[in-house]
Structures are given as structure tokens and as C-alpha cells.
Amino acid sequence: MALNERQLKHIKTWQASGFSQTDYCQKNGLNNKTFSRWVCNYQELSQATMPSLIAIDVTPPVPLPPNVDLRLRLVNGLLLELPSTTSPRWLAELLKCLN
């Protein structure tokens, strides 16, 4: 249910006032049950329109110069040459297997 400007103004004024809903309604000649329904509708609308995305920090990958090969000399003397585009995860798994 949409709220009109008058209802929104009362809700915002009540929130800033520090009064209980009952006290605010008495001071402003409002029906407590009606005002409570406005507040519930406002909260539902606020929840429905809140974004569900959160901000995250993204660390960009460190760029490698193109055409730079990776050369690894293994303990047994073998030389392993890989393109610079080799996945670090794949390389880590390979090194675990060779260990």
C-alpha cells in the first residue's frame, strides 16, 4: 500500500521526535492503530526498495608483460617452461604433484 505525503511527513516527524507512537498520536490527534498501520506499511515499502547489493573491494590482477615465459628449474634439473598465461591455480597443483 502506497503512503501519501501527509502520512510520510507524520512518520518522519515521529521518527525524529523521540516520542512513542502513542504519545505522538495523542499530541497530533491521530488514531494510534491507523498510525501504526502507516508505520508498518512504511517499513515494508522501505524493505522492498532497499538494494540487496553490497560493496566489495576488488583487487585487480597484476598484469604480466605479454610473451614472458615462466621458467622453473626443478630440483632434479629439469627446466619447466610455461606461458605467462598459465593459471596460478593450475601451476600450484602441478607443483604439488611434482613435490
pLDDT in tens, 22-68: 999 999 999 999 999 999 999 888 877 666 677 788 888 877 666 66
User: Is 19 within the bounds of a domain?
Assistant: yes
How many of the other CB atoms lie within 10 Å of CB of 43?
11
User: Is 23 within the bounds of a domain?
Assistant: yes
The answer to whether 22 touches 28, Cβ cutoff 8 Å, is no
Predicted TM-score of the model (pTM): 0.48
pLDDT of residue 49: 67
Cell of 69: 615465459
pLDDT of residue 68: 65
- C-alpha–C-alpha distance, residues 83 and 86, integer Å: 6
What are the angstrom distances between the C-alpha of 88 and each of 76, 77, 79, 81?
Answer: 22, 22, 18, 14
**Domain region containing 89:** 64-99
User: Is 58 within the bounds of a domain?
Assistant: no
- C-alpha–C-alpha distance, residues 40 and 37, integer Å: 5
Q: What is the mean pLDDT of the chain?
A: 86
The helix (run of H) or strand (run of E) holding residue 82 is: strand 79-82
76 and 45 both lie in a single domain: no
Count: domains in the chain: 2
